[in-house]
Structure 1
Amino acid sequence: MERRKPRVLLIIIPCLCLLVLLSLNLPEIAPEEKSINGLYRKVMAGTGRKRVAGEVSLCMLGEMMVSMLPSDLAFTVFVPSEAAFESILKLRAGESLTKEKINNTYALLSRVMAFSAVPQHLPSSSLPFNGEISFDSVSGFRLKAWRSLDKTLFVNNVSAERVDLSKDEIIVHVISGVLMDAEFEQSLE
């Protein structure tokens, strides 16, 4: 019986963490706001120090997703591109952020964030070429990431459009799809 306790704790602790994240009283976001967190730094690996290559912004839905994470803790989040939000999740910033739809949009984004956020730093340079590494998202969803020989980042066979954006302690990779489990994907259809 004593051997089962660690396994039970490995299941219970991530579930409790997810419940805490999802139950936080998160702020309402006005649809007319253009940006929540502002600009992200494009960070390039240097010799011992990071160099800032420029500043970029995410789409409004991506900004909302990243704003759900605490900015003072190490996270990596794989944010869908604006095209992926529209084609896969059927979310458009103008329509999805109206007063009538904002709560549903926020709930959907928090679910996607749980599948897409990893509680550690994963810069693209730390991922192997043609050899994958596995890790769990905050929801326990298994993610596998690697880089192709042309240095394109892939996570669960979805390619990245932009990599290594950072805001405080959060690393953001913008991907061309949406990371989700089969059950959630089925619920969208």
Structure 2
Amino acid sequence: MRRRKIGNLKLKSPVKLVCTIVTVSFIITQIFTAVKLRGIPRSAIASTKTESPAKRARIGEFGETVIKLLPEDLAFTLFLPSEEAIRRDLRLNRNDSDAYAVLTRVLGFSSVPRWIWTADLERGGRRSYDSISGLSLSVGKDSNGNVVVNGVVSEVVDLRIGKTVVHVMDGVVMDAEFEQSVRPESDDDDEFD
């Protein structure tokens, strides 16, 4: 059997040559990939894990219902009212017959079809996003690192549930017309006194 000579290397078979080329190519590809990944911000890299049960507990029953309304295969950011804010601002209880309809409206006002992490926001700065209902949201970060949306401050930020980024808010993000419709009657009486 004749030996082939390539440069200074003597290879006994073309199989060894192919294996050597594939191995070297693989190593070079891995090096370039590792270098490029260092340039990507951490907030842009999608985590596939779901938050711990302790963090999910902050979402509450109403929050779980709202999250189930979002498509599972698309990236969303949800500015979810806390359980207390839903009871306080919307006067909703679990057994209210119109709870599902109200939560659906709130979902439209408080969801953005993209990821917004706190790392993407600058302290004191504001960015404008449109919610899925078309409401313009002014999103920023205060000096304490809390997310602020249309004046509503967050309680918990950057929860990851499936492909949804959830910021639990201490209030309800909604438009003025909807706010008037859910305002308690006692507030209306105070205006005329």
Q: Give the gaps of 5 or more residues in structure 2.
A: 1-41, 184-193
Residue 92 of structure 1: how far off its partner (Å):
2.2
> What is the DSSP-based 3-state SS (H/G/I as helix, E as strand, rest coil) of the residue aligned with 2:90?
coil
CA contact (8 A) 1:160 1:176 kept: yes
Structure 2 distance, partners of 1:118, 1:76, is 5
Structure 2 distance, partners of 1:164, 1:126, is 11
Q: Give the gaps of 5 or more residues in structure 1.
A: 1-44
Q: Say whether 1:144 aligns with 2:138.
A: yes
RMSD: 2.1
Residue 149 of structure 1: how far off its partner (Å):
2.1
- The answer for the alignment partner of 1:26 in structure 2 is none
TM-score (ref. length: structure 2): 0.66
- Output aligned runs, 1:32-111, within 5 Å: 54-55=52-53, 56-57=55-56, 58-93=59-94, 95-96=95-96, 101=97, 104-111=98-105
- The answer for the alignment partner of 2:148 in structure 1 is 154
Structure 2 distance, partners of 1:47, 1:183, is 35
Residue 131 of structure 1: how far off its partner (Å):
0.7
Say how many residue pairs are matched.
138
Q: Say whether 1:181 aligns with 2:160.
A: no
Instruction: Report the residue type matching 2:107 in the other structure.
Output: M
| Percent of pairs with identical residues | 38
Residue 46 of structure 1: how far off its partner (Å):
7.7
Structure 2 distance, partners of 1:48, 1:77, is 18
Structure 1 distance, partners of 2:44, 2:172, is 33
Q: Closer, same or farther in 2 for the Cα pair 1:145/1:171, shift >3 Å?
A: same
TM-score (ref. length: structure 1): 0.67
Larger radius of gyration: 2
Residue 91 of structure 1: how far off its partner (Å):
1.1
Structure 1 distance, partners of 2:175, 2:136, is 9
CA contact (8 A) 1:71 1:167 kept: no
Q: Closer, same or farther in 2 for the Cα pair 1:70/1:47, shift >3 Å?
A: closer
> What is the DSSP-based 3-state SS (H/G/I as helix, E as strand, rest coil) of the residue aligned with 1:144?
strand
- 1:163 maps to which of 149, 157, 162: 157
